[in-house]
């Protein structure tokens, strides 16, 4: 299977090459020329598989140049339990209420869903280097709104042949997220705080990726950049697996019969996680509606409802920081699929987005998007109210990102009366965003004066849930990374870290 660029400017490459490069040379995103499709009988054969077996099947259907035995080995290493994933099922399904079920994606080492992909990606890259006979050292550059950075650091830590540099916005991550990153171990890791917001960090990293001087200097040193953000196909494809697994769990629990439709709700930022659900739907998984939930940064909700993507608006720092994004990179892939692979049109839209911050799709595409997606946004007050209400009625503590999803879903359900069983992507452990969760449930006084570790204990008492050991253990870890820079200084910082100058 060949991978091509959404902007049409690069010849077909293998999946190993697409994963190694991260982003296509013309600035577009790699996507397979065709999306695998399961006939009903073949889909049914996947039903009894364990998470790891299912991952081997689904990932193998996309990464056709990887040997099955090699994939099995990498998947076994990435999803080991309890070493890597606290739960043996990797992504267990838990009832919320009625026919509403939560797909818990946060049992990995950093307590957010990004572990599912980022525990595997370094192995896929290492093997990709081998398959393409590349001797180059891979330098991973990451811009993070909090969760990607830590999950990538954990995944790449001490993986031979790789270095990783993570930039996070100094005002845009939670205390726990910051602590997780600045205490990161590993001889090949670096963490830098940028004065600005996530889009500043992301734009800075995008510029570094295409800076001719930097690329040339790296090349002389036997190195090349790659990306661990969800623009990398190797990040996306492991995420498709858990939607299949969640669906099959609902079948096994006899909530639905095999073949019956479900809805899927995803709290969305860069449009990676929900795009994985859309791909599962394209592959034949019976998904009726994809509910795309935004926080106050509602650029995606507006896009789904109007067909106009317009990033010219206020940027808000919210209690769901991993969704504080105004440019959703992976939307480019959806546009590619829905425009019938119209690469010239995508190139124009992406140009318009860069120059004027805005583009508008045509009526036919608007219709196609609304066929598959429902878009909505949740305010901070609504999100807090959902956490409280859910806790009081079900005993479950939702993290603020997951609560954005539940809030938007409730609106969808009351607007449409659609009672189709629904799976909610639970993207982070409530412990990772403890202060917001406790405040939502018990009020502002309950958090005042408490440090991060007292907050963890408080949430444990409140919910009876166990504190994830990786978070409790942060207390003992020394700070190893203290670099702070302005957004204009990211290039010299990288040159310095890589000793290029």
Ligand X SMILES: *Cc1c(COP(=O)(O)O)cnc(C)c1O
CA dihedral 391, 395, 400, 405 (to 10 degrees): -90
**Contact flag: residue 428 with ligand X (CB under 6 A):** yes
**Contacts with ligand X in 273-302 (CB under 6 A)?**
273-274
Number of residues near ligand X (by CB under 6 A): 17
Candidate ranges 68-76, 252-260, 268-276, 373-381; the one touching ligand X (CB under 6 A): 268-276
Per-residue contact track with ligand X, 126 to 145, x per CB under 6 A?
A: --------------------
Q: Is 114 a catalytic residue?
A: yes
| Contact (CB, 8 A) for 428 and 450 | no
Q: Nearest distance from residue 333's CB to ligand X, in Å?
A: 12
Residue tagged active-site, from 84, 114, 206, 366: 114
**Contacts with ligand X in 391-410 (CB under 6 A)?**
401
| Contact (CB, 8 A) for 366 and 338 | no
**Contact flag: residue 270 with ligand X (CB under 6 A):** yes
Candidate ranges 125-133, 155-163, 267-275, 333-341; the one touching ligand X (CB under 6 A): 267-275
Nearest-CA neighbor of 272 among 98, 121, 437, 81? 121
Nearest-CA neighbor of 209 among 469, 6, 28? 28
> Do β-strands 287-294 and 308-310 pair in parallel, antiparallel, or remain unpaired?
unpaired
Q: Nearest distance from residue 203's CB to ligand X, in Å?
A: 16
Q: Nearest distance from residue 237's CB to ligand X, in Å?
A: 13
**Contact flag: residue 56 with ligand X (CB under 6 A):** no
**CA 55 to each of CA 73, 244, 500: distance values in angstroms, whole numbers, following the listed order:** 11, 9, 39
Q: Nearest distance from residue 21's CB to ligand X, in Å?
A: 20
Render 467-481 in DSSP notation, one character per residue.
Answer: PPHHHHGGGGPPP--
Chosen residue from 271, 278, 309, 374 binding ligand X by CB under 6 A: 271
Candidate ranges 272-280, 356-364, 412-420, 442-450; the one touching ligand X (CB under 6 A): 272-280
Candidate ranges 29-37, 213-221, 266-274, 338-346; the one touching ligand X (CB under 6 A): 266-274
Chosen residue from 169, 234, 267, 375 binding ligand X by CB under 6 A: 267
Residue 66 contacts by C-beta under 8 Å, 6 or more apart in sequence?
Answer: 15, 16, 60, 124, 127, 131
**CA 495 to each of CA 123, 139, 208, 215, 428: distance values in angstroms, whole numbers, following the listed order:** 26, 12, 10, 11, 34
**Contact flag: residue 323 with ligand X (CB under 6 A):** yes
Taking the least distance from each CB to ligand X, the nearer of 343 and 463 is 463
**Contact flag: residue 377 with ligand X (CB under 6 A):** no
**Contact flag: residue 347 with ligand X (CB under 6 A):** no
Taking the least distance from each CB to ligand X, the nearer of 116 and 485 is 116
Cβ neighbours, 10 Å, residue 492 = 12
Candidate ranges 83-91, 261-269, 354-362, 376-384; the one touching ligand X (CB under 6 A): 261-269
Residue 295 contacts by C-beta under 8 Å, 6 or more apart in sequence?
Answer: 267, 316, 318, 320, 323, 324, 377, 378, 380, 383, 404
Cβ neighbours, 10 Å, residue 448 = 9
| Contact (CB, 8 A) for 365 and 339 | yes
Catalytically annotated residues: 114
The site for ligand X (CB under 6 A) is made up of 112, 114, 147, 230, 267-274, 322-323, 401, 427-428
């Amino acid at each position: 299977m060949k991978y091509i660029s959404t902007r049409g400017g690069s010849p077909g490459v293998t999946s190993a090459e697409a994963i190694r490069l991260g982003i296509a040379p013309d600035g577009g995103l790699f996507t397979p020329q065709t999306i695998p499709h399961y006939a009903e009988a073949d889909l049914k054969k996947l039903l009894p598989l364990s998470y790891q077996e299912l991952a081997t099947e689904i990932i193998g259907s996309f990464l056709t140049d990887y040997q099955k035995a090699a994939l099995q080995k990498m998947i076994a290493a990435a999803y080991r339990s309890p070493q890597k994933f606290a739960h043996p099922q990797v992504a267990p399904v838990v009832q919320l209420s009625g026919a509403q079920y939560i797909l818990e994606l946060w049992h990995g080492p950093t307590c957010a869903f990004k572990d599912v992909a980022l525990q595997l990606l370094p192995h896929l890259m290492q093997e990709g280097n081998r398959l393409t006979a590349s001797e180059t050292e891979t330098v991973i550059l990451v811009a993070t709104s909090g969760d990607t950075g830590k999950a990538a650091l954990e995944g790449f830590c001490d993986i031979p042949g790789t270095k990783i540099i993570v930039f996070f916005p100094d005002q845009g991550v939670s205390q726990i997220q910051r602590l997780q990153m600045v205490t990161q171990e590993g001889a090949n890791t670096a963490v830098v705080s940028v004065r600005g917001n996530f889009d500043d960090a992301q734009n800075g990293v995008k510029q570094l990726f295409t800076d001719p001087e930097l690329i040339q200097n790296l090349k002389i040193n036997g190195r090349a950049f790659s990306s661990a953000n969800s623009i990398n196909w190797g990040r996306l494809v492991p995420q498709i697996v858990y939607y299949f697994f969640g669906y099959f769990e609902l079948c096994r629990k006899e909530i639905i019969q095999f073949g019956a439709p479900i809805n899927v709700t995803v709290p969305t930022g860069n449009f990676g996680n929900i795009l994985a659900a859309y791909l599962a739907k394209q592959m034949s998984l019976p998904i009726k509606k994809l509910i795309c939930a935004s926080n106050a940064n509602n650029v995606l909700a507006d896009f789904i409802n109007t067909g106009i993507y317009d990033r010219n608006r206020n940027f808000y720092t919210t209690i769901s920081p991993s969704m504080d994004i105004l440019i959703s990179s992976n939307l480019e892939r959806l546009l590619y699929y829905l425009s019938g692979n119209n690469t010239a049109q995508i190139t124009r839209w992406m140009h318009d987005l860069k120059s004027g911050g805005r583009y508008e799709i045509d009526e036919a595409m608007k219709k196609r998007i609304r066929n598959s997606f429902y878009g909505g946004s949740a305010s901070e007050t609504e999100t807090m109210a959902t956490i409280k209400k859910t806790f009081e009625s079900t005993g479950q503590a939702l993290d603020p990102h997951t609560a954005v999803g539940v809030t938007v879903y409730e609106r969808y359900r009351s607007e449409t009366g659609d009672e189709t069983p629904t799976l909610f992507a639970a993207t982070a452990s409530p412990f990772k965003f403890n202060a917001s969760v406790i405040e939502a449930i018990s009020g502002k006084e309950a958090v005042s004066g408490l440090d991060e570790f007292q907050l963890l204990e408080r949430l444990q008492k409140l919910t009876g849930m166990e504190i994830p050991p990786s978070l409790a253990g942060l207390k003992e870890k020394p700070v190893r990374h203290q670099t702070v820079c302005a957004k204009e200084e990211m290039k010299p910082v990288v040159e310095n870290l890589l000793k290029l100058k």
